[in-house]
Structure formats: C-alpha cells, structure tokens
Structure 1
Amino acid sequence: MRYWIALSLCLPLFGLELSLQSGKEEGEKFSILHLRHTAPFVCQATNNEFGETRRVDCRFSTAPKQSLSPIDNGLLSVSASSTPKGYTITIIPKSKMMLVPEMFDLSKESQTYQSDVKKARHWNVVGYTKTLPLMNLSTPSALSINFPVKVQKNVPPYVGGLDLKGNPIKIRRVQDVTDYMEMKKAYAANDYHKVIDRAKNTLQEYPNTVFKNELILYQIRSYHQLGEYEKLLELSKKFLREYSADTSVAEVLAYTANAYSKIGQILDADYFFDRLFDEQIDSPFAAQGMIFKAEQSESSGDLKKAMMFYQKALASTSDMAVASKAAFKLAQLEMLEGNTKKSAEYIDKIATVNPNYFSEVYDHAMEIADAFVNRKDPKTAARITEALLNNTDKKLDKHQLLLKNLGMQLAKAGKRNEALKRFNEYLETYKYGEFVEEIRRAKDGLFFEEGDNNTTKEIKKYNDLIERYGNDSVGRKALYKKAQLLLKEKKYKEILDIESDLYRLDSAEYPETNAIISKSAIGLEKVHLKEGKCTEAMKLQKMYKIKLLPEWDEALFNCALKTTQYENAKKIAQRHLKSKSIQERQVWLLRMVKTQFGLGDYKGAIKGGNELITLLAAEKNPPLNDIYRTMFDAAQRVGDGEGMIRHIKSIEASYPNAFKDIERYTQMVSLGLKRKDEALTQTYARKVMVLQERTKTYTQSPYIEFTLAESYQNLGKDGDALKVLRALNARKMTNEKRSRQQYLIGAIEQKLGNKRQAREAFNASIKADQNSAWGKLAKDALALF
C-alpha cells in the first residue's frame, strides 16, 4: 500500500525548484526530495566507513534573492547556506538516504543506462528507514555489461545518413573494426598467439580493410615477442615494401635487424641496422635497435663494440625501459672487465630512476649483487637487493632470502643501524624462517664490531661536556674527541664550522688538530666536486691551498672552467699534455683548447687544436671530434676563412645534420657573401633551410632566405629566388621583414614580365608596412605601372 503527500517549494528567480514528496511502502515511510535547475549543477554525497550516505551537498554558483527556510519532515533535514563561492543546499538523513541523478528525458530519448555523473539538471534524494523504496538494487558484477534500456513507446522516427541526393547511405559491416580492437586487447594482455590468429583471420575476411598495415604490424610485434624470427621476416619485408612511409617503419626495421641477427645472418642484420640508424635515427626505436646491435656484438665476443652501442642507446633514449636495459648491460660488462666502480655507477642510475627494473631481470640482478659483495662493494649490492625486496610480495619464498641478503649487505657496508633494522624485521616476520640462526649470529656480531657507538649520542655527550666545562681540560678534550668522531663520520663541514675553536687547542697536547682540519677541507672539497658544487669547491681550494691527487684533475678542471677560472684550468691541463698515453693527451689537449678559447687566446687555441687533430688522425677518438667546432669558432674569431672552410667540413663529417651547428652554417653563408662566392653561399644557405625545416625551428629566418634569394638572382636564377622568397609566406615575421619579402617578390615578378603578380606583391608590401623603406619602394614601383 502506498500513499503520497506532496510539498513543493519554488524559487523562480533562482531557476531552482525543490519538491518534497512522502509516502509509505509495506508500512515503511519514505521521502523523495526533487531538486531541479535550469542549468546542470553538482550534488555530492558523503559516505561513512560503512558506505552509507550521511550527507548530501548541492552547490550553485549564485544565491537566490529569497532565502530557503529549513525543512524537516522526520526523514530528511534540508538547510541552505551562502558561501564565498556561491550557494549550498545540504540534506541530512534521520535514518538512511540515497542520492540519484536523473539524466534522461524519456520524451526525447529512446535509451537509458546506468550513468555515473558529476552534474545533472535533476537530482533525487531518497530518505528511508530500512529498505530503499520503489526499486531493488544489486551490486553489479565486474564482468557484467551495462546494456541500455530501450523505451519504445512514442519513439520519434529516425532517418540515418543521407547522400547528396537524399538517398540513405549503406553502411558497410564494421566487423574488421571489432576484430582490430580485440586484437589490440589481446596484445595488451600479452596473448601473442591470439593476436596472430585474429590478425590473420581479419586479413583473410577483409583483405581491403583500412587496418591492414596495423594488422601486419601487430603480427610482427607478436612474432618478435615470441622469438619466431623466420615468420617475422616474412611479414617485415612485406611491411617495409608496401608501407615505406608508415610511422612504424623504424620499429619494423629494428625488429627485422634483430631477427636476422638472431638467426645468424649478420650481413643482412647490419644492412637493416644501418637503415635504422641512417634513416630513422630520431625515432625512439633507434635506441632499441642499438640495444639489439649491442647484443649481436656481445654474442660475437666483441665486448668493446657492444659497450659502445649500449652507451649510445643510453645517451640517446628517453624511454626508461630501454635506458634501464642499456645501463644494466653496461654494468654487467664493466663488472666483467673488472671495473667495479663504473659498474656501480650504472647500477646507481637504475636504482635511482627505475628500481623496479631489477625485478624484470631478477636472476641477473641477484648474480651482480653477489659480485659486488665479492668485490668489496656491499653498498651497491644493497641498493639492488633493496629494490628487489620492495617489489616482492611477502608471501613469496624469495622475500625472506632478499630480506636476509639485504641485512647482511648493509652490515658489511658498515650501516649498522640499517642492518639491525632489517635483521629485526626478518626475525619478527619469519620467526621460524630458514635463515633465523644465520640472522641471529649476524645481529649479535654487529655489537662487537669497532665503532659500534651511537654517533648521535656520542656527539651529544661531547657537546654537553663542551658546554659544561668550556675551555678547561675536559672541554678541550671533548672538543678534540668530537672532531675526531666527526672526521671518522665524514662530517667535514661540521668540523670546519668549529675550525676556530680547534685552532685554539694546544698543538703539543692535541697533535692531530691541524691534520683533522686539513683532511676535513680536502674531504669537503671532494664532496663538492662529486656533487658538482663548483663555487664551493674552488673556494675551499683557494682558502686552504689544497692539492689533490691527479685523479681529481678532471673534476677540478671542469669546475675551474665552469666558474670561469681559466688560468687555474690552464695550469691543470698543462700537467697532462706530456702524458705517455695518447688518449690522455688527446683529452687534455681538447680541454686546454677550450680553456684558451675561453681566455680569448684564439691563436693559442688554434695551435693546440691542430696538434690534437694530428693525434686524432693517428688514433681515432670520436667523442673528441668536438674539437672541430672549437677550431671553427676560433678561426671565425680571427677571420681565418680558409680555416672555417676546412673545419666546417670536419664538423659535417663528424656530426651530419646536427641542428647544434646551424649557426656555424649561417656563418659560412656570411663568409660566402664576404668572398662573393655564390656557390659557398648557396650550399650552406640550403643546409640551414633543410635543418630548419627538419626541426621546425626557424631561428635563422628570414635572413637566410633573403640571402639565398639574392645569391640566386646574382646568377640569374630568378625562378629559384622567387621560390625561396615565397617559402617565407608560412613564416612569422615582423611587418618590416614581411614588407621586404613582398617587395622582393614583386621586383622579380616585374623582371619576369608578370605584371599582375608584381602588382599584387607590391600592394602586399605596402599593406605589411607602408612606412618602411620597402613599403615606400613598393609605392614607387607601382607608380611605374
């Protein structure tokens, strides 16, 4: 039995209508509050920890002119308040409550479905005691489908798409779309066999489908994942032949090269690697190809070449997965070569940026962690193990092995407190674990190692003694002990902060005082050098006249250069110029040249650069080819045109199509103008234009186009000049430059006898900037018509 009592409140000025209805169902009272507005608004429910709605807030951007009086009908309590952001109506239940939006107008729409919306024009708030009235709700299954409910009564007529003659358009079946989407889902789920089957079936059923290239591509990807290289090659040849302009060509080239490599056809593999690196070097898959190439070299035993390609991949990619793989492989190879420190640097990069990668290569990660422990670097081993532990479920057996290993590695690294924390964690988590006895012995051993005092407590104790006894014997000894402990803990800055107090100590009574200060200054400078804090490092260098071992020369040189202390940098470089190692001399010669260039000693830079170029001819060192850029710049500074020409060719050979050199190419254009060498001018002007177009960066426009056009005109190539000038139509320019461009176009058109085009160009020049010299020239030109 149901009965209704309706109470309505309208606020027409606000565009809001409230309607409160009450009734009974099966003897249980309920109320329904309707909130309607002319514009969609937000109603937000606040639930308690049991999922019950305890409050609903409906917010409006403006407040009504008449206020809403509180309403309370025993089931719902309605109140309103103004806020700085608008107007809020709040509904509080006396028992239970549910918020329901109304999104569909059944007089206009033929289908409804369950919709989770944030805004609506009509909201219902149902207040009840125990059972939700008028409807039964059930929790939807995660696998269920939200079918729309069709409302057939009074459905308005519908006509589909019509052609230009008013006839219905026949729509083709779209099963190939469905198959394509299912194939992509299968690939995302790593079901590669299903991907291949679905792609083959779709191509057989719909040979002319628009997804043909994608269907072939996904098969290639799946065969790559499955390691079925022969089948991959059958499809990749077809793809590269039929879809040579597809955006996925780089990816297919990488997989093709790898497939040939895996089946032992190295010449074919190298052909496709060369294509990938020459044609698609800017693609992310170029770096992936470098990984494949490195693996090929590694398999053939050429570890040096493998490392080179891994390093190239690491330097060129922004893909975290590719970078992580390259860094890990480099870490393995450096460890194999005995370079533990270099290997640790790569491991630290992975641990910092993508620690989860270690779990992807779990077995290899465990092996290299053991190798670090054996090489007396438990700290790096702990970084690997901690990353593996953080990504391992506690329910897995390997979790307790990782936890045990981490504790042992931290203990060997001297991190007693961290090791103790891990040992306790193991004993609490695995009371009857496999390694309990081993952990207990290791934990007990921590307390018998040297330096087992708590540093923080020891420092606090010394500070208390210094404060209490001041400058008497006890205070002085506490200060000295504190300095020794701080030095042991490598807290160099804290020692230098109390330097003046330490100098007041009697050197006969405390003979190591000066050594503590000196070691602290050296230690802090090394820290600054490692962290790249060059200003601080060079300040300490000067203040304490520190002399570091030659192994720090590179860092000192870089900091001297960075802080423009070129004289210091020059002194450091000079110490290495007579090295017996050609490679070392090459590196330091380059640094010396850069220093001389920074000092403005361009002739000295050129002399040193020529010596380095001679050494590079005897022993190649591609990373040092940057010397050609410095030599070019130095030649340009001293006006040596021949030198500029000689070095720009070396730059082109070492760094083909590098946008970094665009200004140098522009300088070659200027040299061509100065020498009235049209060939030189045109060669490098065109290079600049190609680079700009490839990168969509037009830093040298419109100067370069004006110059090239003028050069063409000097040789009577008016058509070429006109083409270059018209290319500027797509560029943004100042009004004065636009006026110049249009005037030049008009002048050429006039010369060619094209009066109408000339007149149009001159008018455009005047329109662009009538007050410029070019606009005025255009006016004069028009007067001649």
Structure 2
Amino acid sequence: MKKLLLLVLAISELFSLTISLNSAKENNTPYAVLHIQDIEPLDCQIIPQGLEKQVYLCQFKKIVKAPIEAKKMKLVEIDFLEKEKEFFIKIEPKVYSKLIPVKTALYENPEVTNKHEEKSYKHWTILLYENIPFGDAKSIDGIDFPVIYPKEVKPYVGALDLNGAPISYAQSQDIKEYLDLKKLYEQKKYQDVIEDSLKAVKLYPETIFKSEMLLYRIKAIDAILDQEDNRFADNFDRSDVIKEAKEWTRTFSSNENLPEVLMIIAKSYIKMGQKSDANYFLDILISEHDESEFTKKAILLFADSLYNSRQQDRAIKLYKDVLYSAKDLDVAAEAAVRLVDKQVDNGKKEDAREYLLKVLNANEKYLLKDKPASYALADKLANRGLYDIAARVADVLYKDSKKTDDNAEKLARDVAVWYAKANEITPAYEKLQHYLSEYKNGEYESEVQETLDELFFELKETNETKLANYYDELIQKYQNKIGDKAVVEKAKLLLSQKKYKEVLQMQNALLRAADDNNTQINDIVNQAASALTQGNIEENNCLGAVKYIEDYKLEEHSFEANKVFECLIRSSRFIRAKELSEMKITSKDLNEKRVWLENYIISLYHLNQYSKVIEVSDDALKLSQIQKKKPNYESTKDIFFSYMKEKKLDKALEIASLIEKNWVDDFKNSDIFNEIVKEATDTQDDLLLSKYAKKVIDLQNKHKKYVQTPIVEFNYINALKRLKKDKEALSVAKDLLQKKLEPKDMSRAFYYAAEVSLKLGDTKGAKEYFQKCSDVKEDNSWKDICAQNLKLLP
C-alpha cells in the first residue's frame, strides 16, 4: 500500500481538512482510495457525467483565506472553488469510481449495515478503479439486513513489539540495563546515562525498553545543558538534543512519552532563540496533548522567554493559565513559584503572597525539589518585606534539613527572625527559642537573642496590631468609660501610625466619647485633618486640601500660606483667597507685604474687581521697584487686563512694556500683545496694531507655537495694506502660507497674497496665487472671490 498526502489545511484557517490518496493492487489489479476528512461533517454529492463516470462535489460552510492550487494526478483531478462564502472541492476521476461514506469504525458499533441515511459525514472515501479490484463487478439482488455482533465489539490483541510480534515478559538482561539507566538518571549521573544508553541499545537492539533508554539519553543531555557545565560544553549543544529528539519522535511516534520529547524539542528551540520553531512544537503539544503535564511545562518555558523579552503581561497570563489548568500538582506549583518570583519583581507583593500560599497549602514538598532556588526565593521575599511567607518557605526547607547541613543554622536563624519581623508572635517565639537551644554559641546567636528580647515587649502587648485588636474588643464589649477610653486610645494609636483617614472615620465615636476630654478629642481630629491637608498640599491636590480646611474648619495660616492661597485660587475659592490676602498684607515685613499685595491683586481680578486692582497696583509695583524685585507675573498680567477692562489703553500699554522688559521673549506675553492687537483692530489704530501683531508673530515663530495664527496675521496684513506697506504685507502672507491652515484660512491667505501682488504690479504672481486659491479643495467664500478675480485677469 502506498499513501500520498495531498493536502492539509491548517487550524488557523478555522478547520482542519485532510485529503489523502492510497493506492494498491489486488490480484495484479491496480486501484486507489481517495479519503476526504474534516473535524466537522461535510456534504459530498455525485454529479453524473454518463458512461458510468462521475464528478463529485464536497461542500464546506467555511472559507479558506489562502488560495489552493488544483491537483492533477494519474487517476483523478482535484480542484478547489469558492462561491458565496462557501468552499467546494471538485473531484473528477479519470477512471471508474464509487463514493462511499465512512460512518463509524466497524468495531465501535455492534450493528453493521449497508444503508447510509445521513447526507453529511466527517469521512468520505472514493474508490477509483479501471477494473473492479475485488471479484465480480456484478451485484446480486437479495435481502439487505444488518449484521449484528453482540459480543466483543472491540477485538482485543495483546501487547506487540515494533515488529508486530507478541511481547514476552520473560526475565532478560535488558531489563537490568534499563533499571540501571533509570537509577543513574535519578542520581543525576547524566554523563553515565548518555554513554550507557547507547551501549544498551547496541547490545539489545530489539529490546522493548529501547524508547525509554533513548529517552533517558535525551533527558540527560538536556539536563547537562541546563547545568551549563563547561566540562561537557564541547560535547553537546541544543541542536544535538533537537536532532536526537526528532529522530526519537519519528521512531516512536505513538509512544506515551511523546509529549515529554516534544517539550524538550520546544525547550531547546526556545533556548536557541528560534521562537518560530518552538511555536510549531508548542502548537503540536497544545493541540494534540493539551492535558499533558509536559505541555504545561513547555508553556511555562515559553512564558519565561516572553517575560525575558519584555512581554511581561503575556507571560503572566500564561503562568496563570498553567496554574489553574494543570492537573499535576508539581506543574501547578512550578507555575505558582514562577508567578511569585515575577510578581515580587513587579512590586505586586500581595499577588505573590497569594500564589505562594497555594503552593504551601497544596504541595509544599515541591519546594524541596530545588532547595537552593527555593531559598533564593524566600530571601527575595524577605528583602521585599514579605516576612511571613518567606518564613513559611524557610520553615519547609529547615524541616527537611539535617543539623550537619551547611546552611541548616542559617535557615534556623532566618525562620525565627522572619517570623518575628512578620509579627507572628507565637511561631517567632518558638523558633527563636529553638535556635538558641539547638545552636549554642552559634554564628547568629547575638542577633537571635536581640530579636527575642524585642519580641518580649511584643508579648507584653506593646505590639500595635495586638493593641488595635485589643481596643476593638473593648469597644465592642463595653458601652461605658472603658469603651470610651478604648476609642480615644485607638484614635491616638492610629494617629501615631499616621493613619489619619482612619482617625477621621472615628470622629462620631470620638464625639460620643468626648465628655470631659472634648479638647483632647478636637486636638486628635484637628491633627489628623491637618496632616491630611498638608499631605494634599504637598501632593498638589488642591481640591483635597481645601475640602479638609472647609470640612474641619481649619485655619489657613496653619499651613504654608502661599500654597494655601494658590489652592484657594485653583479651587475657585476667590473670596477666601481675598480674605487670606487681606490678613497678610498688614505685615510689617515689606517683602511679605509685597508678595501678599500681588496675591491680593490676583484674588481681586478673579472677583472682577478691576478698579480695585488698579487702585492697589501702584503700591505693589512701587514695592517691587524699591526692593529691586521682579514683580509677580500673574499679578502684573492681571493689572494689564484690568486696565484693558477699564478702557485705559495708555496705562495698559505701560504695563505691557513693563511685562516685556521683565519677561523677555516669554511666550505668555503673546496673550497680552494679542489683546492690544484686538483693541487696535477695533479702533483701526494701524500703527499700534502692526507693532504688536509683529511681536505676537515673532514670539510664535520663536517658540514654534501658533496659538493666535491666522487671525493675528490677517489683522497684521490688513493694517500693512492700509499703511501702504504692500511688500511687508506680501511677506507676512507668504510666511503664513508656510503654516498649516484650515482650507478657508488657506484661501484667504492666497487671496491676500494675490491682492498685494497686484498692487505691486506682479500680475503673474497674483494670477498664480488666485489659481492656488481656486484649487483649494474645500469650497468657501474666499475661494469664490479668487475664482472671480482669476477670470478678470488676462
């Protein structure tokens, strides 16, 4: 029998279709069987062609994205068609043929019948022949009834070797060789395994343990490479593992250990950085051996590579998938330990604690598989403050150690000290005592003794956590002075712990407990509220700071007044800001007085008290001049705008000059200059307009920020035209056209350029600008004007 594989459509195309052709001879009569199989039922129909020859059409309700070429062979032609979101396979035999559906395997059903009631099957066959291969082609009419096999639906054949012969389990030397190899591997004598496995296979080529022997060799090479032992680096590399593992899969393709070998291949490709090859074998594992522990291990290895290549989110997701899907406890534990390690590095300590608790509660012995790695993890946890969970890991390791082990004493110390740092009083006390009795005059005796001394005070109930719990018990138990005292003491404890929000949450309980301690209660609440206010001020959270000030009636001057003022302004509490300023401007310190006069101006301006701003402005500016200090920009700007609001342009221009002098080339000045431009535009003061428009444009060009464009340029151009400065107007228009403009503004700029060009006698240039204006895609009034002017030009 010969088998020709024609086509396999990948899973990524949403279905897996296999078409294969088997050819053979029966009594020197050639024939072939074409198989069409899919994971979902498909419909195959006969299209009669006459002369006993047929064409077959098989239909799918799915689309193949990539085109597939037609196949032409000696006995049959196959073509692939797509129509109206359906996919068809056209089979055109060149010889006689017969369509036969394969409903189920014969051994799966006790009743065998020749009738086929359904139209769709997952498996169809087409018999291709020139002469009928099995006896006479004539069919004899007769009774068609099912044949029933009531017993032994699935026939049983005992175990066979690779040659199909029954396996004998008589004692043999090859069994001893196999067991010796197994023992060597468990003893981690990998070099011996590598050498002895080949000897055993050569000595017993027909042994039933051949697959296991060669598997131990592959595993041993893999283990040596994992150890990165330079003694064997020249003998093997990952490509050797891949080569031997692939040969193993071809030889033992149905072996139960196949997933493990596929995992080793995927692992080796990952180690070599060949991710596409690794993905291929990983896909095989997932699709064909999804429940295997080795598939899960391969996924973990792949996740490691993702994590190291900065794809941390994908890696974490895969770790979690393995943790919650693995049925093998060790694999689940391995995934959990990886998550712990990564989450600690990411600062997600509580997540790390949760994952490690899963290991400790379900399979703590897993931590003993690699004691150095487990200790390193425990040490990392302790360094990140997770002392409770670090202590539990170290405790597991210590219980499995002997006193004579090199690290036994250090483990005993770590367990004890970490429990103490975790405030787990009972185990800490027990472990500290154990160390001192077990390791008298030990290396860590003084440290352990000091820790035990510290723990003594905790046992006297100075532990804040215990105290808090104790206060809670008293509050719940007593509705009298004892309970009231517990409320106050708990609030004081929380205050000392800087848990200010929790103190404020107790305010109602504190007020009920006040009685004669009303002053103390108010002091506790005010301290907590003040601390939270200060924190919000430092964090620039003005809304939060102002809320605490208002809710708890705090005095603004209790904090840094300037920052409180800024927060009041930002929170639109302008009246309170004004009141704070009025209180501060009475200061005899001239510097402080000047600062608060400026703040006062800012608050007045926000309250629209422009005349009052002008009234105070002279004092503020004079103080700045006397002290030779640059005035506050915000207050000076507010003075300028107040003069503008009060229609006092001359004074406003003086302030504008002062601002320009003190804050040269400051981009914020463009707002001030533009305000003058707008005023000059309204009054058609073209000299003033052109002066300040140029300042705005220069600032914008310097800072590459075009906030006022194109309006300021348009105003400037119009002013220059009225001043008969056409060349300057054209220059401004040209510069404007270099900027990104809306279509309407673009049309307007082209129009101005054309108009000024005409005035300058440049008809050709004007025509070009009018044409560009007309070519602007979006319709607008300026475009229409340009088109009209273009028609008038010769």
Tell me the TM-score normalised to structure 2 length.
0.45
Tell me the TM-score normalised to structure 1 length.
0.46
Bigger Rg over Cα: 2
